[in-house]
Amino acid sequence: MTGSRLLATTLLAVLVAAVATGCGRVAGQEPVTLQITIHYSQFEETELTVPHGVPVTFVLVNEDPIEHEWLIGDAAFHERHRSGTEGHHGARPNEISLKPLETMRTTLIFDEPGTILYICHLPRHEAYGMVGTLTVT
Amino acid sequence: MRRPLTLVAATAALLLTATPALACGGLIGPNGAVNLLRTTTFAGYHDGVEHYVTSFEFAGGDGEFGSIVPLPGVPTDVVRGGDWTLQRLVLETTPVPEAADGVFAAAGAELRSAEVLLETKIDALEITILRGGGDEVGLWAADHGFRLPPDAPEVLDFYANRSPIFMAARFDADAARERGQAVGDGTPVHLTIPTDNPWVPLRILALGRTAAETVQADVFLLTDEQPAMLPDPNGILGTPGLSLDHAAPASPQLLADLRSDKGMKWVPEEAWLTKVGINAEAADLRFDLAIDASGMGAPSLEDAGFAPFGPAPVPPNSTMVWVILLGLALSLPLAAAWLITVAARSGPGGRPLAGA
């Protein structure tokens, strides 16, 4: 997203930030939990909206018997992953690999409003339609 | 993420994927080029048994790759197919110069994971017959090094809802090379499957293809009677991507040649030969070929994948189209007679239709 930056942290970082900023979120806004289900190699939730500055927990449910990825970031981030070589993701909270029929949780804080995409970059999966849009208000 | 692409190529059925070194797509070469090979399948049906013969062609490359083929029932036998059955069928339905016939004649003188039901090895192919739902078969495939393309979950369910039997074939290209197999050499596999009526999986041929990619295949059917098929490649409105390329009583010479091949003694004295050509965009190939070989003329909607599981609309049935056309033809004179009667009544001397 142009002019905005994705603040990807681990859950521990989220908690630290929460303490540092007086619960670490925009005043009056509660943490958000969203579920994204993957079925037949499609994100069932393709248009999501979250507020900026609050922890957002994504529950990623892979209902398929094949592997998928959930990678969220700006255009440059996705361009890197289209030609990337990592076989498995997991070290960063905005890069999640899902084994067959696996459910994973990850928590992120988006510090600025904007629009970013989440995509599965396994071969042919993006072309097959595994793309979703996250709007940060 | 990306993984290096490995050559994938084969005929018959489809080539899914394989090993961690292989990309998701089925028919992708190391340079990203798509190898669109024409596949050939034979389904013979006699005495309640389907004989399914397909060939896996070595197209070069390294490593392993594989294929999953849905089946209409549990095979009682999986063996190496005969040496010339598929070629002889192609020859029968493709005009060739006289000299070629002579060449053939000389050669033909002799030519929670899914439940594993059967395992066997045929040349460089490792064959496993599986029973399970789409998820179970998908998990089995993942556990055994197959890397399925993104459309696999839906396609596996499409088949598992009707018949939870699949054949997984792992092709070891290195072993093929060690065996001296040259590029283009095929390994025919012959499955014997007791079933009420045969059907031929077609949608699986599009697995791993993009919507606009073309699927080409030849399907040969040998049945006791002239079969009724759904979709009907000879329907009055036709079926996009399907063509009836041959339909005639099988010649005694063909039957004799087939019967002389390995495992083909079941071929009857009289039979009907049908050849269906497939030349369809992958997006359109969302059905299978249901066959009614009983002579009743009622191929199963379910076997074709149209109901209740199929996502595609039922194609026009030629019989129904003829009934509708006949109805229209009969109703036209009646409508004309009614109009004449009405016109006569409203004319001079007749009763006015309205007002005075």
pLDDT per residue over B229-254, tens digit each? 999 887 766 677 899 999 999 999 99
Comparing A102-106, B96-100, B240-244, the range with the smallest average pLDDT is B96-100
Q: Is B216's pLDDT higher than 80? A: yes
pLDDT at B265 (0 to 100): 93
pLDDT per position as a tens digit, B36-72:
345 678 898 998 899 998 887 666 566 666 788 889 8
Cα–chain-centroid distance for residue B332? 41
Handedness of CA A9, A14, A15, A17 (dihedral sign): positive
pLDDT-derived band at B5 (thresholds 50, 70, 90) equals very low
On whether any CB of chain B is under 8 Å from the CB of A127, the answer is: yes
Across chain B, mean pLDDT equals 74
Contacts of B211 (CB under 8 A, 6+ apart): B281, B282, B283
Question: In whole angstroms, what is the distance from residue B315 CA to residue B300 CA?
Answer: 13
Angle at Cα B11 formed by Cα B275 and Cα B4, nearest 5°? Answer: 150
User: Which residue on chain B is closest to A80 by alpha carbon?
Assistant: B1
Ranking A87-96, B90-99, B106-115 by mean pLDDT, the lowest is B106-115
Please tell me if residue B101 touches chain A, with a CB cutoff of 8 Å: no
Question: Cα dihedral angle (B278, B281, B287, B291), rounded to 10 degrees?
Answer: -10
Q: Choose the mutation target among A39, A64, A79 for the interface with B, i.e. most B CBs under 10 Å.
A: A64
Q: Chain A contact for B213, CB < 8 A?
A: no
CA distance A66 to chain B (A): 7
Q: Does B143 touch chain A (CB under 8 A)?
A: no
Closest residue of chain A to B2, computed from CA coordinates: A85
pLDDT-derived band of residue B309, with 50, 70 and 90 as boundaries?
low
Confidence band, pLDDT 50/70/90 cuts, at residue B208: confident
DSSP per-residue string spanning A22-80: TSSS-TT---EEEEEEEETTEES--EEEE-TTSEEEEEEEE-SSS-EEEEEE-HHHHHH
Q: Which has more pLDDT, B14 or A120?
A: A120
User: Do the chains contact at A65 and B150, CB–CB below 8 Å?
Assistant: no
The span from the CA of B22 to the CA of B24, in Å, is 7
The structure tokens listed for B140 are: 């089995």
A and B: number of Cβ contacts within 8 A: 77
φ, ψ for residue A13, nearest 5 deg: -60, -35
A-interface mutation test, from B1, B2, B154, B309, most A Cβ less than 10 A away? B1
Looking at per-residue confidence, does B237 or A16 come out higher?
Answer: B237
Which of helix, strand or coil describes residue B171?
strand
Which tokens go with B186? Answer: 């095929």
Interatomic CA distance for residues B85 and B188, integer angstroms: 9
Looking at per-residue pLDDT, the higher value among B184 and A61 belongs to A61
